Structure 1
Amino acid sequence: MAAPLPALATDAPAAIARAQWPFTATEVARFDEPWAMAFLPDGTLLVSEKAGKLQRLDPRSGRKGAVSGVPEVAYGGQGGLGDVLPHPDFARNGWVYLSYAEPGEGDTRGGAVGRAKLALDEKGGGTLSDFKVIWRQVPKVSGKGHYGHRLAFGPDGKLWITSSERQKFDPAQDMRSNLGKIVRLNEDGSVPADNPFAREGGVAAQVWSLGHRNALGIAFDAQGRLWEHEMGPQGGDELNLIERGANYGYPVVSNGDHYDGKPIPDHDTRPEFAAPKITWTPVISPAGFIIYSGTQFPAWRGNGFIGGLSSHALVRVAFEGEQAREVERYDMGQRIREVEQGPDGAIWLLEDGKDAGAGRLLRLSPRA
């Protein structure tokens, strides 16, 4: 791997107000504390609600139906039902993958990923069957934060999982744990023989990269490069280009500091660790991530879009080979939890509404 370059400066552009948006945001539906969404081949949309419900929405008619068979989730804090991801060949095999927080012994919890067959019904919902857990965070620990558990299928056909460090710091550097790691698995949860640490066995064999904090976005670009964003501590949110076997340094280095004020050495003090391509201070609290490939916004093809929680923003990132920079920020007025690209090339957002029915689903289309 080439020597890491310093992260680009975090002089964030001023947020663009609604009157200057190059798109129109249309409310399509509302959900209870939504967390993730994914389109099915028939154009309907699966939306996970953090308390443990999976909904199916037809955006054209507005009809919404529940999907039964969702596993029990450990709801509370940052935990609950997480990501939802259809298999790339869903139309043939019907597999859907879910991530969620699962209860353990005593007061412990951990992220898990399972897959199930989804049968759609005529009422607009569906049923999950043959559910099987294919991956778990190890170990389960106390606390209700930093699960991560974002999911993606790569161009290699493998399942990629962000496993955050559960606010426990040191496990991100401990190969006896899969916390604070990016995990790469076969579609059935088995470990690919060509993973960088496969020969070590155990959970280390699952690991593609390590030294991550709270990773809540993962996406592949058109060249097959994997990009990931994560929340920093007090300052230092990151966008990283993920390299095979690389160590991204947390908690040894960070461009932020601990919440108690204790400083953390910056990345440039330890060049053996892979440095982020962008850092944000003040933070944007990134959540949700796409790299756009549609036709509705042709000027944005190949750009990244990141939802902002504390920043109440949609952040646009331009990539220049293996470098990246923030180019625009749109003031959405609400916490943005999830970003997705629709089949027609529109951009879809989920707000992080915590009250019943407060999480709006928005469709962004070019301004006429």
Structure 2
Amino acid sequence: MMLFRPILAALLALAAPLSAQTLDGPSGPIPVREMVSGLDGPWSFAFLPDDSVLITEKSGRLWRLIDGQKIEIGGIGPIAQVGQGGLLDVLVPRDFLQTRQLYFTHALMQGNGAGTALATAQFPVGSDKLEGWRVIYQIAKGSSGGRHFGSRLVEGLDGTLFMTVGERGDRPSAQDLARENGSVLRLTRDGDPAPGNPFLDDPNARPAIWSYGHRNPQGAALDGSGQLYVSEHGARGGDEVNLITKGANYGWPVISYGRHYSGAKIGEGTSKPGMEQPEFYWDPSIAPSGLMIYSGALWPEWQGDSFTGSLKFGFISRLSGDPLHEVQRLQSPETERLRDIREAPDGAIWFLSEGQGALYRMAP
């Protein structure tokens, strides 16, 4: 009997991961395959046209996953590793094969503080090193501490870049157009404020701002028509999904559906004229990170649905309908502290687990 128990325990330990390696799809369980493990503080990933994958780690390391092998890519410039800051998002633009240009968001030292910055570099064919790393945009100096850097990058249909920035833990700055804190920026590929931005002619505003009044947007995606959505952290309650429109004010910290961590009331309530309402909000908070709006390529039933990861509870939240509402929570050990989620070119759903230090693929 004593010999049988350790054998049984070993068999159960082997069986447990197998039972967890599926998630519920519209027509039954969807297999989940681990693509790479051993990641340390992974933050984002992006697909290259040759089917390899770039993965960022907050510590400043960049990996390329190719043919099942993880290769470190050099050439990353100075990164501020402070609190929630580090090397953050990575974007492979649509014309990458012609330009070989990549874009990154990261924390950058600015005197005694740090801010969110946008950098670009080239990734030559056949190389394992970036070339020409340069910072092409950084938010106004003046933020200290290590909280709320954002930060996601999305390429608009016109080729401009949307970049989300957290309010850096400085709540009033999200309503101050003289600073980028708590905003969505719209930039050219050279890092200049994009033509058509709403505050280009306002001498008291930062011209790159597209929308403001955000707290800490850590997810951003375009829907099928090219409209931008962001998911952002509230405080104790009040995590939001917002449809982003030009020049709009999303209210933080004047309005919110949450409360401060102390339990105190936030601002003036849940609504105010001139401030936008969220498309959806969570209460209690789930700490959403990453955002994907699915094309329906492999699962037509999910076309147009939004998917975001929960850092707090470890699941994928699926949102659908009009008005938008949460319809499903996909959860397994693989979804622990889920940091990013993307649709692959073949329609598979990939997600990055900070808790597991691994990248996974969902596909039939």
Fold in common (TM above 0.5): yes
Aligned counterpart for 2:119 among listed residues 102, 114, 121 = 114
Tell me what 1:221 maps to: 223
Tell me what 1:190 maps to: 192
CA distance in 2, matches of 1:203, 1:135: 16
Tell me what 1:325 maps to: 325
TM-score (norm 1): 0.88
Poorly superposed stretches of 4+, deviation over 3 Å = 17-20, 265-269
Choose 69-78 or 41-50, whichever is displaced more: 69-78
Q: Residue 348 of structure 2 aligns to which amino acid in structure 1?
A: A
Shift of 1:204: 1.9
Relative to 1, partners in 2 of residues 1:88 and 1:192: Cα closer, same or farther, differing over 3 Å?
Answer: same
Tell me what 2:35 maps to: 28
Shift of 1:126: 2.1
CA distance in 1, matches of 2:54, 2:123: 11
Q: Residue 72 of structure 1 aligns to which amino acid in structure 2?
A: P
Confirm or deny that 1:171 pairs with 2:173: yes
TM-score (norm 2): 0.89
Shift of 1:19: 6.8
CA distance in 1, matches of 2:22, 2:347: 22
Tell me what 1:39 maps to: 47
Relative to 1, partners in 2 of residues 1:18 and 1:349: Cα closer, same or farther, differing over 3 Å?
Answer: same
Confirm or deny that 1:100 pairs with 2:100: no
- Any unmatched runs of 5+ in structure 1? 1-16
Aligned counterpart for 2:318 among listed residues 316, 319, 326 = 316
Q: Residue 118 of structure 2 aligns to which amino acid in structure 1?
A: V
Identity rate, percent: 39
Relative to 1, partners in 2 of residues 1:340 and 1:19: Cα closer, same or farther, differing over 3 Å?
Answer: closer
Confirm or deny that 1:90 pairs with 2:96: yes
CA distance in 1, matches of 2:140, 2:194: 18
Aligned residues: 338
Tell me what 1:9 maps to: none
The answer to whether the 8 Å contact 1:113/1:135 transfers is yes
The answer to whether the 8 Å contact 1:120/1:127 transfers is no
CA distance in 1, matches of 2:102, 2:205: 23
Aligned counterpart for 2:358 among listed residues 352, 357, 360 = 360
The answer to whether the 8 Å contact 2:23/2:330 transfers is no
Shift of 1:277: 1.1
CA distance in 2, matches of 1:54, 1:271: 44
The answer to whether the 8 Å contact 1:283/1:311 transfers is no
> What does residue range 1-368 of structure 1 map to in structure 2 within 5 Å?
21-22=24-25, 23-30=30-37, 31-58=39-66, 61-106=67-112, 108-121=113-126, 126-201=128-203, 204-265=206-267, 268-320=270-322, 323-333=323-333, 334-353=336-355, 358-366=356-364
* SS of corresponding position for 1:119: coil
Relative to 1, partners in 2 of residues 1:265 and 1:169: Cα closer, same or farther, differing over 3 Å?
Answer: closer
CA distance in 1, matches of 2:110, 2:267: 34
User: For 1:60-102, what per-residue CA distance to the aligned partner results, in whole angstroms no more than 9, with x for missing partners?
Assistant: x211211111012111321110000012100110000011111
The answer to whether the 8 Å contact 1:213/1:250 transfers is yes
